[in-house]
Amino acid sequence: MDSKNADRKVVVELERVVKKARGKLSPEDAASETGFSLDQINDGVSRLIELYESRVTMDRESGRLQFLFKYPLHKRGSKTFKEVLMSVLDVIWKGFTFVYKASVGIIMILYTVVFAVILLAILLASRGDNDRDSKFNIGDMLGGIFRGIFDVFYLMMWSRAINYNTDAYGYRYRTYAPEKNKGKNFIFSIFSFVFGPEHPKYDPLDDAKEAAAFIRKNNGKITAGHIVALSGVTYEDAEYRLAEYASRFNGDLYIDNEGSIVGDFTGMMNKVSKDLEGGKIVFYEDEVEAPYEVTGNTKGRNFAIAAMNTFNLIMSIVVINVFNSDQGFQFSYEEQLVVVDSLSEYSWVAWVLGYFPLVISSLFFIIPAVRVFITKAKNQKREYNILRKKLIGAFVRNHGKQAKLSDILSNANISDSATIENAKKVLEKLVIELKGELNFNSEGEPVYEFPRLNRELHIA
């Protein structure tokens, strides 16, 4: 199938035929309907597959290839209203996180310092006005603060675990255990506190690169069963991908003697450069994603961040209450008495040092609080996916042959009673998704078999 050689007129006619047939198309029917040669039809079908979502199956009555296009025709890459809405929300969220990420750490630290200076100034002013004869020394106060900091630092160092490392000459030496947050700066920890640690980005082309690498390793052949083993998709989705790969990599599709649809990609076997490795083959069973964490920080760092934000939150509320009141105050400045009749005259201070940090600090706690439930749901989904990966891995290793439930669970290394119950529910779905069969033996035990998977995994 070569979309490059497709005639525009042929493609237009094929679109008409597909619409007339409500998405169903076989090359023979198309040739009969249009009068074009089968070579022209095959090239045109390849182009249609590039343009519209479709899957390849075998017509049970004729035993020949047929292509099932989503009807009405659905262009590849086009999005539904729901997908567009989700994309817009995703852009808004990314914009918000970008701005928040760029400012949240600096703002929190900045306001902590500002509020600390204000609080210290108030304490010093009150001590200076009320007790000038007490010979209060600011140096003594700062010295006490720094001594307290160093004492805490010493306590943290003393309480850290001791590890033994080995140098280049094989000698062992005592050292403190490395911090879990080593290499992670405090600003980044603040962002992780709010939005959580970032997960690796999914590349949509990874599956295509993996399929291409498998095709080369498997003598230029691939089936829907192989795609299931590689990506864990349902058989229906695997048929969509098989049709897409045939168009993308200029492959030929045919039905073998056992009724399996095989993609032949002989042209992909040509390899010239040894420096180009291509995609890596990682089967679905081994593609386990990292667990989701709320913050990804150590408890000590989370406590420090929460304490700083709590301080900012309290101080912002105090500032709002003070500068929205009609109270006045007086203070001495260079031996002159300064009188302020009403603080409400300085309402802008309430916005700068009150409302703005109040909103920032509130979001600082609200977002991770909501994310606790989101993270829990994601980890539950992850556990389900891991269970699904284990079971599909067991089927693939067994080549889809007949197996009792106990054998499948043993092969998948599932022994916990609660997990077994969940595995049974997953198996019920997999029987449908992977075109399997469920029977019962003479002892009444479920027996699972995946004949199509068995046939297609042996093709090489």
For 331-360, the pLDDT digits (tens) are: 555 555 555 555 566 677 778 888 888 988
55 pairs with which residues across the strands?
A: 68
Q: Which fold has domain 398-457?
A: Arc Repressor Mutant, subunit A (1.10.10)
Write out pLDDT tens, residues 89-111: 888 877 877 776 666 767 777 88
The bridge status of strand 65-69 relative to strand 24-25 is antiparallel
CA 313 to chain centre: 32
User: What does the buried/exposed string (b/e) look like for 97-106 if buried means 16 or more CB atoms within 10 Å of the residue's CB?
Assistant: eeebbeebbe
> What token pair was written down for 422?
């969940």
Question: Which is nearest to 382 in space by CA: 283, 297, 287?
Answer: 287
Give pairs for 363-371: CB < 8 Å, separation 24+: 363/100, 363/194, 364/104, 364/108, 364/193, 364/194, 364/309, 365/306, 365/309, 365/313, 367/194, 367/195, 368/193, 368/194, 368/196, 368/294, 368/295, 371/195, 371/196, 371/294
Instruction: State residue 235's pLDDT score.
Output: 96
Residue type, 158: W
> Residue 163 has what pLDDT?
54
Specify the amino acid at residue 153: F
CB 391 within 8 A of CB 430: yes
The whole-number pLDDT of residue 380 equals: 93
Q: Quote the DSSP letter at residue 292.
A: P
Q: Can you give the pLDDT at residue 339?
A: 54
What pLDDT sits at residue 125?
59
Q: What residue spans define the domains of the chain?
A: 1-78, 398-457
Question: pLDDT value at position 394?
Answer: 93
Read off the tokens for 265.
């990609």
The CATH architecture annotation of domain 1-78 reads Orthogonal Bundle (1.10)
Q: Do domains 1-78 and 398-457 have the same CATH topology?
A: yes
Q: Which of 448, 307, 239 has its CA nearest to residue 226?
A: 239
Query: By CB neighbour count within 10 A (0-12 exposed, 13-18 middle, 19+ buried), where does 116 fall?
Result: middle
**From CA 294, how far away is CA 241, in angstroms rounded?**
35
> Residues 350, 320: contact at Cβ < 8 Å?
yes
Integer Cα distance of 347 and 32 in angstroms: 82
Helix ranges, 160-223 (H): 186-195, 206-217
pLDDT in tens, 151-195: 544 444 445 454 545 534 343 334 445 455 554 577 778 888 988
For each of the chain's 460 residues, which pLDDT tens digit applies?
655 556 889 899 999 999 999 999 999 999 999 999 998 898 888 889 888 999 999 988 888 899 999 888 888 877 777 778 888 888 887 787 777 666 676 777 788 888 888 777 767 656 655 554 444 444 454 444 445 444 544 444 445 454 545 534 343 334 445 455 554 577 778 888 988 887 777 777 889 999 999 999 999 999 999 999 999 999 999 999 999 999 899 899 999 999 899 999 998 888 777 777 778 898 999 888 888 899 988 888 899 889 988 988 988 888 888 777 666 555 555 555 555 555 566 677 778 888 888 988 898 899 999 999 999 999 999 899 999 999 999 999 988 788 999 999 999 989 888 889 999 999 999 999 999 999 998 888 899 999 999 999 998 7
Give the pLDDT score at 203.
79
CB 53 within 8 A of CB 70: yes
The packing angle between helices 186-195 and 356-397, to 10°, is 70
CA distances (Å), 70 to each of 10, 236, 419, in order?
20, 12, 37
pLDDT at position 451 is 93
Quickly list DSSP for 93-104.
HHHHHHHHHHHH
Task: Say what the pLDDT of residue 391 is.
Answer: 95
Give residue 126's pLDDT. Answer: 60
Q: What is the pTM (predicted TM-score) of this model?
A: 0.74
Task: Choose among 290, 293, 296: nearest CA to 382.
Answer: 290
